[in-house]
């Protein structure tokens, strides 16, 4: 690495979700990005097979987004949205409402997916109170679910490592079973045919506690962080039916599935299942500025506003909710998605992606390949050191492709601008890496 780019020390930055000691002993750095690629300090191009972290859906360094941020920073660097308005926050909320599922057009701005999850849970509870049902306070998440790292999110979440060091969780939470069933559904193309009945576990939880105590169910339509779990055919519809039957709100965490990942604006469109509350983040600004948002139905918004006991209807918000730079980036991002027809593009290239990924079947260590839209997951058999996928990740990076790994799973979520030749490059690089690891 050239000395001008080398930090004096790597000690101070406590890196998130990273083996700090191992990373700092053998660091990987990038200093630039553009389109489908990152660039290392010695100017090697690294093909980004994960859109950063499921977030740069339009690719890196999109000029229109960069310019919008620069303009916004020069015009209005910051304004609170507590008792004060600025036009881009209203405009961006309106624009989001136009692409969200019908009627889900009351938008609360946050700064991340984690904040969106906790905001969604709080809105669900506030709604039940506002409609005179304060006894409906229980929250239901799912095993292997990931809803960020704040206390609400880890409480309804079901990734054990994210919970177990942090003492008591939020109380009144139950978990549905996860839907991953490698024994039954390995190498399914798209949605597994079997497993819709797993949604019926909600019926058992409802019987246990009584529906009059349950506020909301939260799930990721496609679970990412636990290793890419595609919902079985019919599962989400069944969950929706049961929630409606028992007067329980359904929350979709669309932090990774929002903004074209499945070839539709949201997963809700893809599965034709409408939640009552929907969370977003990541690609909402193409990740050029941190931002998240929660969309609630008009019914929820009106109920909370019309039944408030104080002039402020919801005691919740963030200093940087609806930040001018984030809103400007968000509007430019939506313009980019629309003008470049990126959601349609993702839908069109998804079959090629599926075929390419499944061509890896039979390569060493692979026990399952999962895909939907422009999402992919390759599960490897476990190794004693729990780090086979980590080794594949490093080999791919050295060979010029940035993938993600979580546990034994390699996860893929390339920018929606990806070309067929780049899909081939990803698959060939992974194939070679798999042959090299023990």
What are the residues binding ligand PMP (CB under 6 A)?
A: 112-114, 117, 146-148, 220, 224-225, 253, 255-256, 281
Which is closer to ligand PMP, CB of 146 or CB of 353? 146
Q: Which residue is nearest to ligand PMP (CB)?
A: 113
Task: Please list, in sequence order, all residues whose beta carbon lies within 8 angstroms of the beta carbon of residue 292, skipping any fewer than 6 positions away.
Answer: 109, 110, 111, 112, 113, 114, 115, 116, 119, 255, 279, 280, 281, 284
Cα pseudo-dihedral 247, 253, 257, 259, rounded to 10: 90
Which is closer to ligand PMP, CB of 126 or CB of 293? 293
Closest approach of ligand PMP to the CB of residue 424, in Å:
27
Closest approach of ligand PMP to the CB of residue 291, in Å:
9
Phi, psi (degrees; rounded to nearest 5) at 262: -105, 10
Closest approach of ligand PMP to the CB of residue 191, in Å:
18
Cα pseudo-dihedral 237, 246, 145, 274, rounded to 10: 40
Closest approach of ligand PMP to the CB of residue 134, in Å:
27
Which is closer to ligand PMP, CB of 142 or CB of 147? 147
Closest approach of ligand PMP to the CB of residue 229, in Å:
11
Which is closer to ligand PMP, CB of 255 or CB of 304? 255
Write out the two tokens for 109. Answer: 């701005």
d(CA 127, CA 249): 10
Helix, strand, or coil (residue 32): strand
Side-chain half-sphere exposure of 241, counting CA atoms within 13 A:
11
d(CA 373, CA 350): 5
d(CA 273, CA 256): 17
What does R_g of the chain's alpha carbons equal in angstroms? 22
Closest approach of ligand PMP to the CB of residue 416, in Å:
17
Helix, strand, or coil (residue 368): strand
d(CA 405, CA 395): 12
Which is closer to ligand PMP, CB of 88 or CB of 114? 114
d(CA 272, CA 102): 11
β-strand partners of 368: 379
Which is closer to ligand PMP, CB of 146 or CB of 397? 146
Closest approach of ligand PMP to the CB of residue 408, in Å:
18
Burial class (CB in 10 A: 0-12, 13-18, 19+), 63: exposed
d(CA 47, CA 33): 10
Which is closer to ligand PMP, CB of 216 or CB of 366? 216
Which is closer to ligand PMP, CB of 195 or CB of 227? 227
Closest approach of ligand PMP to the CB of residue 261, in Å:
11
Which is closer to ligand PMP, CB of 142 or CB of 365? 142
Closest approach of ligand PMP to the CB of residue 79, in Å:
23
Write out the two tokens for 422. Answer: 């780049």
| Best CA proximity match to 50, nearest among 343, 355, 405, 348 | 405
């Amino acid at each position: 690495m050239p000395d001008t780019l080398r930090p004096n020390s790597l000690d101070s930055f406590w890196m998130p979700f990273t083996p700090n000691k191992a990373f700092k002993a053998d660091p990987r750095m990038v200093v630039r990005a553009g389109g489908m690629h990152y660039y290392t300090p010695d100017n090697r191009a690294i093909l980004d097979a994960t859109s950063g972290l499921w977030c740069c859906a339009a690719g890196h360094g999109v000029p229109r987004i960069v310019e919008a941020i620069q303009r916004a920073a020069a015009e209005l660097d910051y304004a609170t949205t507590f008792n004060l308005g600025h036009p881009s926050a209203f405009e961006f909320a309106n624009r989001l409402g136009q692409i969200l599922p019908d009627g889900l057009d009351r938008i609360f701005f946050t700064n991340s997916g984690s904040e969106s999850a906790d905001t969604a849970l709080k809105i669900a509870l506030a709604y039940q109170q506002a409609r005179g049902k304060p006894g409906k306070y229980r929250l239901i998440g799912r095993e292997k679910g990931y809803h960020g790292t704040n206390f609400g999110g880890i409480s309804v979440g079901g990734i054990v490592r994210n919970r177990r060091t942090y003492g008591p969780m939020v109380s009144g939470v139950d978990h549905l079973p996860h839907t991953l069933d490698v024994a039954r559904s390995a190498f399914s193309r798209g949605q597994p045919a079997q497993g819709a009945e797993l949604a019926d576990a909600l019926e058992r939880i409802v019987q246990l506690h009584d529906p009059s105590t349950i506020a909301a169910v939260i799930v990721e339509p496609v679970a990412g962080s636990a290793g890419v779990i595609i919902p079985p055919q019919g599962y989400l519809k069944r969950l929706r039916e049961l929630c409606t039957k028992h007067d329980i709100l359904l929350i979709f965490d669309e932090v990774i599935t929002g903004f074209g990942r499945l070839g539709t604006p949201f997963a809700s469109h893809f599965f034709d299942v409408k939640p009552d509350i929907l969370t977003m983040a990541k690609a909402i600004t193409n990740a050029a500025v941190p931002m998240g948002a929660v969309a609630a139905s008009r019914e929820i918004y009106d109920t909370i506003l019309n039944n408030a006991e104080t002039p402020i209807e919801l005691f919740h918000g963030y200093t940087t909710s609806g930040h001018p730079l984030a809103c400007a980036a968000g509007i430019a991002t939506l313009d980019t998605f629309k003008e470049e027809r990126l959601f349609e593009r993702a839908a069109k290239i998804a079959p090629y992606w599926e075929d390419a990924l499944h061509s890896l079947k039979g390569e060493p260590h692979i026990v399952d390949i999962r895909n939907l839209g422009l999402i992919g997951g390759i599960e490897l058999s476990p190794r004693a050191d729990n780090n086979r996928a980590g080794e594949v990740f490093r080999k791919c990076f050295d060979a010029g492709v940035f993938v993600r790994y979580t546990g034994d799973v390699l996860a893929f979520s390339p920018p929606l601008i990806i070309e067929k030749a780049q899909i081939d490059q990803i698959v060939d690089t992974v194939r070679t890496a798999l042959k090299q690891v023990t």
